[in-house]
Amino acid sequence: MALWGGRFTGAADERFKRFNDSLRFDCRMVEEDIVGSIGWSKAIRDVGILTPDEQARLEQALNELLSEVRADPEIVAASGEEDVHSFVESSLIRKVGDLGKKLHTGRSRNDQVATDIKLWCRGEIDLLKKSVTELERALVSAARRFQDVVFPGYTHLQRAQPVTFSHWAIAYAEMFDRDYLRLCSTQKLLNRCPLGSAALAGTAYPVDREKLAKDLGFDEATRNSLDSVSDRDHIMELLSDASISMVHLSRFAEDLIFYNSGECGFVELSDGVTSGSSLMPQKKNPDSLELIRGKTGRVIGHLTAMLVTAKALPLAYDKDLQEDKEGLFDAVDTWHASLDMAALVLKDIRIRTDRAETAAKGGYSNATELADYLVKKGVPFREAHGLVGRMVVYAISQNKPLEDMSVEEFRQISPAVSDDVYGILTLDSVRAKRSAKGGISRERVEEEISFLEKRLAERG
């Protein structure tokens, strides 16, 4: 049943109805719409629109509807209504007759939909926070499991300096931790209730909006009705949180795809998260990670779409705003699935310690150590840098690593080198020296892993 029609003599064109109706996707907010409606019934009872008995009957019928849609969510979309708000109201009228028609007093679908979306985002953020936390846990647990595995570290995708697998894993734990904090901040900022703003100018009944807000679990009521019904900042923020986090996930995926490649072979993904080729029997492809990387574009696209939809929209509500939902739902689902998949990939990942360590030793990644060594011997750094460059060229020409050069060979290029040079060229020495906060030394990485474990344990 349409919620309007009195002003119309002709029926809506079928094609327009299909174009206009939002039930197909906004049915996802049916629980929020029912909860918001119960809140509103109390608010208008308190100003005498409903008697306490009428409100109780409405609340009971709405709770009944809630159980029905929980038991069979399909009934919502199958109802053929214009949108979720029409579905709830029509269902209510079917249950309690004319009394159901009183519920919409002083309310508009504009403040109703704004409230529903906020309630939906708030609930979804709780779930997303859990998934982000699980991924952080998976990273920290992998860091713990492979604590001493040395990995090549890259800049420009050239082997630069050795790091450890743990250090790499907790780098991503840091990123996802910021994603978690971003979700908390988005959730906090959106938690102001627009209900009672009506169509745009505020409800014409002296409703206690602060009480209503508290009733629905909001911190407070919004302060301006025009803003309340047209604000979609929280959707932009959640999409931005999703996009930033997907960028983190995509880089994580790309790193592992590279490490898992035949060329590197530093890690091996489990059979559970890889797939084969229909043609080439030898293949085991990192589809899980490629899909995470691929889906990132889609989520960023939804953020862009929301921003562009809202730009240049006149106050207050315009139907353009109905376009806020499909992208939001898809982005949240995609982000969620990607977070869970990333955690799954880490669960059974194998590290090929020997290959990683050999690569970490190769590529002259201890050249910086040699330059620092010369500095200690009194050579100015810029000069040391040049001398070590020449040592690397020489070692390449001899097809051997720096640590296999003899003291005589070193001294041909710089007489500052003596026997004690070999100690500083080992992986152990490289790690041990980087003991300032955030560095790769054993103690620092241990400290960081423990810190993260503690923080995640506190999160519960």
Q: Which residues bind ligand ARG (CB under 6 A)?
A: 22, 26, 83, 109-110, 113, 317, 319, 321-322
Nearer to ligand ARG, 318 or 409 (CB): 318
Q: What angle do CA 40, 41, 46 make, to 5 degrees?
A: 95
Nearer to ligand ARG, 81 or 177 (CB): 81
Contact 143, 170 (CB under 8 A): yes
Whether 156 sits among the annotated catalytic residues: the reply is yes
Q: Shortest distance, CB of residue 219 to ligand ARG, whole angstroms?
A: 24
One of 67, 156, 397, 406 is an active-site residue; which one? 156
Q: Shortest distance, CB of residue 79 to ligand ARG, whole angstroms?
A: 14
Q: Shortest distance, CB of residue 313 to ligand ARG, whole angstroms?
A: 12
Q: Where on the phi/psi map is residue 265: left (φ > 0), alpha (ψ -120 to 50), or beta?
A: left
Nearer to ligand ARG, 151 or 317 (CB): 317
One of 261, 275, 277, 450 is an active-site residue; which one? 277
Q: Shortest distance, CB of residue 113 to ligand ARG, whole angstroms?
A: 4
Q: Where on the phi/psi map is residue 314: left (φ > 0), alpha (ψ -120 to 50), or beta?
A: beta
Q: Shortest distance, CB of residue 36 to ligand ARG, whole angstroms?
A: 13
Segment (H or E) for 382 = helix 381-397
What is the rounded CA–CA span in Å between residue 258 and residue 251? Answer: 11
Nearer to ligand ARG, 21 or 134 (CB): 21
Nearer to ligand ARG, 167 or 232 (CB): 232
Q: Where on the phi/psi map is residue 438: left (φ > 0), alpha (ψ -120 to 50), or beta?
A: left
Whether 277 sits among the annotated catalytic residues: the reply is yes
DSSP 13: P
What is the rounded CA–CA span in Å between residue 191 and residue 188? Answer: 5
DSSP 278: S
Q: Shortest distance, CB of residue 322 to ligand ARG, whole angstroms?
A: 4
What is the rounded CA–CA span in Å between residue 236 and residue 250? Answer: 20
Nearer to ligand ARG, 76 or 367 (CB): 76
DSSP 160: E
What is the rounded CA–CA span in Å between residue 394 and residue 405? Answer: 9
In this structure, are strands 158-164 and 350-351 parallel, antiparallel, or unpaired? Answer: unpaired
Contact 44, 96 (CB under 8 A): no
Report the catalytic residues.
156, 277
